[in-house]
Amino acid sequence: MKIGTKSLLFGVHQFIVHPVVVGRAWRALYGRWPNLNEWIAIVVHDWGYWGLPNMDGPEGQLHPSRSAKVAFFVGKWAWKLKNLFRPAVRDTPGADIHYGLRCAMMVLLHSREMVRLTREQFGDLSVNPSTLCWPDKYSVCFESKWFYLLRARLSGEIHEFRANAVKSGKVSPESSAGDWLDWYRSYIYRLPDVARLRRQQDMQKFHAWLLRGNLR
């Protein structure tokens, strides 16, 4: 069984656990729960790992393009089901395709590597990570450490993750799996965009507190 498949079945990207945790991270960063098309993207965004031999290698880095195809298909049918009893909306020409594309693009650009490749291919520097990118990254901070490491060990992903961190000088060769996760969580927590979104939520909570009359 390829590591990408193991990751989805019982590893870091387990197909139930990971979307739930990403949903929690989404709420923490954006102050609300995801809507339907966002949940579709959250659920399927890593399905492209299925059958892949690595997570961060040449094949693994392109998993968003495979996941985006699934998101497009699911998004189209979700639109039709959502508007099943609203024929005037449901039968609007191209509406289902537009909805599917929204889901697909959110999935495709949840990876910073795909953003980089898209910029290079089309020469468009205005392409930015989708709104799914940062909750997906931040989700590791909402994981139980022992449960995350258990899944990472079961799938074998931890070996690739640690090896990449050692190679780039982020952790020492003698570091444990727990040391790697501590470093990775700290790295994600301090990402500029994650920090910016956290600050925005803190300010909104503070303003709401003021509006409730707590400062007189």
Give tens-digit pLDDT for 112-143: 999 999 899 888 888 999 999 999 999 999 99
Q: Residue type at 3?
A: I
Q: What is the Cα–Cα distance from 88 to 72, expressed in whole angstroms?
A: 22
Whether 129 maps to a domain, the answer reads yes
Whether 145 maps to a domain, the answer reads yes
With cut-offs at 50, 70 and 90, classify the pLDDT of residue 16: very high
Residue 92 lies in domain = 3-211
Q: What is the pTM of this model?
A: 0.93
| Number of alpha carbons in the 13 Å side-chain half-sphere of residue 138 | 24
Whether 54 maps to a domain, the answer reads yes
Say what the alpha-carbon torsion angle 42, 43, 44, 45 is, to the nearest 10 degrees. Answer: 30
65: burial class by Cβ within 10 Å (0-12, 13-18, 19+)?
A: middle
The whole-number average pLDDT for the span 49-74 is: 97
- pLDDT(105) > 70: yes
With cut-offs at 50, 70 and 90, classify the pLDDT of residue 213: low
Q: What are phi and psi of 208, to 5 degrees?
A: -65, -40
Whether 216 maps to a domain, the answer reads no
Whether 162 maps to a domain, the answer reads yes
